[in-house]
Amino acid sequence: MKSYFEKLIEFVKSRLFIMLLGIFLLFFIIVIRLFSLQVVKGEEYQQALKASVIQELSIPASRGVIYDRYGRPLATNQVAFSLKLDDSIKVAFSDRGYVLEKLISNYGGESGVISDDLPISKNAPYSFTFSGENEEKEWKTSIGLKGKQLEYSAEQTLKYLIEKYNVPDNFSEEDKRRMISCALNLSDKNLMIFSLIEILDRNGETIVDDLPVSQSQPYTFLFDGNESKEKDWKESVGMEDDELNYTAAESMEYIYELFEIPDNISDGMKRKIAAIRYSLYLVRYRKYQPVTVALNISEKTVAAVEENNQLFPGVTIDTDSLRKYPFGKYFSHILGYIRKISDSEYEEYRQYGYSNSDIIGKSGVERLYELQLNGDDGEMMVEVDASGRRINTIQTKQPVSGDNVFLTVDQKLQTAAYDYLEDALTDVLINKLRASSLKDSPISLKEFFSSLARCNTISINKIMEAADGEQLAVKEYLLEVYPDISLADSEGKEAAVNVFINGINNGDISSRSLLLILIEQGKITADEDYIRRIENGLITPLSVVIEKLRSGELTPADTDLDPCSGSVVVSSVESGEVLALVTYPSYDNNRFVNTFDNDYYYYLMEHPSTPMVNRPLTQKKAPGSTFKMITALAGLEEGIITPTTLIQDQGVFTKAKKPYARCWIYSGSGRTHSLINVSTALEVSCNYFFYETAYRMGNQEEGTTAQGIATLNKYMEAFGLNASSGIEIGDSQPNMASPEYKEESVKWQNPDATTSQTRWSDGDTIRAAIGQSVNNYAPIHINKYITTLANGGTRYTTHIINRVESFGGETVEQKEPVVEEAMDFAPENMEAVHKGMLLVTQGTSGTLRGVFSGFPVDVAAKSGTAQENLSRSSHTWFTGFAPYDEPQIAVTVMIPFGESSGSPAAVVAREIIGEYMGLNYEPQNSYMENKLAK
């Protein structure tokens, strides 16, 4: 029998012992490891785990919806995918070659996005391009060579880099060098961002860009000329001393250096990388605060990012509520837009719990009701892995949606009024191109295309970037005429535009060529057959231009030719509610929200037609003859005249001394309006009648000049022409003609003006009485006055807000009509004024009888003109109310520089009144259509 020792020896020699020993060792290692993890470093790892995997995220509340008076949505929210990047997650590629290979595969060849900046000659035998040995050695050291490797030849160095970055053999020599250049110049962070942009570009996505510099050259700041804001921004990115005087172009070079963006990448790509790096820079002190790189991305982009998630640490796909404006240009000046909060705005809103990454209303109703629309954000605790990807949601506090705001405007009336205004301006422009009216100033095609070039409808930038087509031919012409042409700054661009316009005017650049350029730039559409007909001269350039104007592909706003702008105000006579408030030209506020379009904003700010101006609220002009009802009523109420008083129009009014004032009909034909009463004076718009009426109120001969203007001012104030209209989104302060305002305005122009120059005279009074002198009002002020006149003397505060409701439908705020003052005018006096306004549209000599001939609704109205520039046409006004017997709405239309084009303002007003009264309604007989289809 074997002893225990022998058995032990035999067991030790067996395979079983060896297996058990291996298992024991494995368990021992596991125990030691667990002891180290849980006991020795347990607390350290636990703290690190908590710090790295639990994130508190904000859940933005859905912004309140803005509706019209009938509940039609004007500003809504849309859920969409967004791409976000968390800079807290470290980017470190283990295989940079793989990432670079994918990048060069998409941006190599002739794309021009990546260039070769290696200091090695492009052709064999290879040689370095350094100026000295020290420079060569420093560069070799910087790329990782050491020891004897520092003696490598140019060819050996190139081979070393190709092997180091696993450059594919199937790459062309040029792409190999591009890949190496990127490898040497791009940090891992910039390489990741570059790769992300490649996916976004490939799928047509738009990158969120908060850099306050235009996206294309020539670079310009987007501070609206505010030097203080520019300085604050420069300091925020670390600029100091002389750097604070940098131009926009110099500032961009500073930004590229700050974010280590290399020069061997195209300007466009550098600008995109800088935009993302700047967004990350803004949240550099807030850990785990992701920034939005792109909004409303497609499912194709989502799939591409998810498939390559190993390349994008810290990148997540999330959902966001995006702001949408279904009617864009029609309501942009009313609604405004939302955008990321600025530093100064943050100081204003932080007391309400806002963060410096929140989105707020920047103008219009969006800004006015920011606190109500914003809602309360929710919170979410999430668990993430080491790469920042979400694993689990731990806790959620649901957000509370913002309140909904209802306006007084009627969406259908607003959009119709805008379209009627644009159509009327288009008709005027076409008539001028055809020169069909003796009153119209004809426009030649050369003038037309020169204006398109001047206001950038034909883009000089795109011409100078062209590689083929008609644009290339024009580019070559421009370079031949002006070899030093450059668009790097505003002066160079202006010079280039002038060369372009000179080429148009002297016939070197034909209208046919310019039409083809408009097609190539996507401004107008054309199929191959249409293009062929243009090229072969089968259709004339004029017919193409008129056709594109008719279709709306070209608009009056694109031309900046008089008249190309206008305003409309429509309000309720019995409440002061605004039913329509139109600015033309307008802009698409959808391009300012979610992803702010810097280039579009810059285009709008530079456009000579000033589409960002809220014309009905801020564009003040002399009211002309639309003012005469105030003078008439003042004379009647003060007993200066009666409804039957007759005044002889003598053509030239001499009582107020030189310069003598004239009646418009006498200036035009030498005739007069003869003996007329106040109603007829309004009908024919007789200046002489109102000169005499105002003169009788007070004059120098009787020593009552001050009394005359004081009387007139009393009635101007009664109709609200001395103060803001009260509209919630704000308007300009009107300028009421008075001795005080005359002195102020004269001294503003000439600080050394004498007393005789600033003193109020009889001539000032009589001219103020016909809407001239220093009277200046925006359309909203004139419309408030006409609303008061229409209802018999009750002046309401103008308002555009109806009510505010909570998300659940509870009324939070209800706006009621506010009566500022109720005047007790004598009925016979008011009737005489109203009758005169009716005669304007229906009288045998009415100034607007041709426009309203056969119109089925009785309209009380007054037209007006006011001259501002001797070299341009006068401004044209229409103001009135309808229906005459039971007034419901007041309408005011103002078209700057539109007087020589007939009566476009009155035509627009007629169509708006017809729209409101249902005259333009065309019922759809869907039953008959269906029966016929069957």
- The reported pLDDT for the residue numbered 544 is 97
pLDDT tens digits for range 662-712: 999 999 899 999 999 999 999 999 999 999 999 999 999 999 999 999 999
For residue 8, what pLDDT is reported? Answer: 65
pLDDT at 384: 65
Res 928: pLDDT:
42
Average pLDDT across the chain, whole number: 90
CA 38 vs CA 26, 27, 49: distances in Å: 18, 16, 13
Report whether 296 contacts 83 (CB < 8 A). no
> What tokens were used for 831?
């009737």
Name the more confident of 191 and 38: 191
Q: What pLDDT is attached to residue 524?
A: 96
DSSP label at residue 196: H
Closest by CA position to 905, among listed 873, 874, 865, 876 = 876
Does 827 have pLDDT greater than 90? yes
Residue range 282-336, pLDDT digits in tens: 888 776 678 899 989 999 999 999 888 888 888 888 888 899 999 999 999 999 9
pLDDT reported for residue 381: 73
CA–CA separation, 363 vs 379, rounded Å? 28
More confident residue, 20 or 784: 784
The pLDDT of residue 111 is above 80: no
Model confidence at 929, pLDDT cuts 50, 70, 90, reads very low
Q: Where are the beta strands (DSSP E) in 740-817?
A: 794-796, 801-805, 811-814
Q: Cα 929 vs. chain centroid, distance in angstroms?
A: 42
pLDDT above 50 for 804: yes
Quick: pLDDT tens for 735-748.
999 999 999 999 99
Q: How do residues 132-165 score in pLDDT, each as one tens digit?
A: 888 999 999 999 899 889 989 999 999 999 998 8
Is residue 528 classed as helix, strand or coil in its secondary structure? helix
Pairing of strands 889-895, 566-572: antiparallel
Q: What is the pLDDT of residue 388?
A: 53
Cβ pair 894, 619 in contact under 8 A: yes
C-beta neighbour count of 572 within 10 angstroms? 20
Instruction: Give phi and psi for 583, each to the nearest 5.
Output: -115, 130
Specify the pLDDT at position 50. 47
Highest mean pLDDT among 20-34, 744-758, 820-834: 820-834
Query: pLDDT exceeding 70 applies to what percent of the chain?
Result: 92
pLDDT per position as a tens digit, 177-189 = 989 998 899 999 9
Could you identify the residue written with the tokens 């606190």? 371
Q: What is the structure's pLDDT at 869?
A: 79
Per-residue model confidence (pLDDT) at position 794: 98
pLDDT score, position 800: 98
pLDDT tens-digit series, residues 726-735: 999 999 999 9
The residue among 352 and 902 whose pLDDT is bigger is 352
398 falls in which pLDDT band (50, 70, 90)? confident
Q: Helix (H, G, I), strand (E, B), or coil: what is residue 181?
A: helix
Burial of 378 (0-12, 13-18, 19+ CB in 10 A): middle
pLDDT at position 612 = 95
Q: What pLDDT, on a 0 to 100 scale, did the predictor assign at position 43? A: 61
Task: Give residue 924's pLDDT band: very low, low, confident or very high (50, 70, 90).
Answer: low
Query: Which is higher by pLDDT, 485 or 571?
Result: 571
Q: Which of 40-49, 112-121, 254-263 has the highest mean pLDDT?
A: 254-263
At 516, the pLDDT band (50, 70, 90 cuts) reads very high
Exposure of 786 in the CB half-sphere (CA atoms within 13 A): 36
> Is there a contact between 54 and 383 (Cβ–Cβ < 8 Å)?
yes
pLDDT tens per residue across span 53-90: 566 666 778 899 999 999 999 999 998 899 999 887 77
Determine contact, residues 273/197, Cβ cutoff 8 Å: yes
**30-39, 52-61, 529-538, 549-558: which range is least confident on average?**
52-61
Residues 6 or more apart in contact with residue 598 via CB below 8 angstroms: 209, 211, 213, 214, 215, 222
Sign of the torsion angle spanned by Cα atoms 494, 496, 498, 501: negative
The predicted pLDDT at position 925 comes to 55
Edge-to-edge strand ranges of the sheet holding 860-866: 578-584, 566-572, 889-895, 875-882, 860-866
pLDDT of res. 29: 81
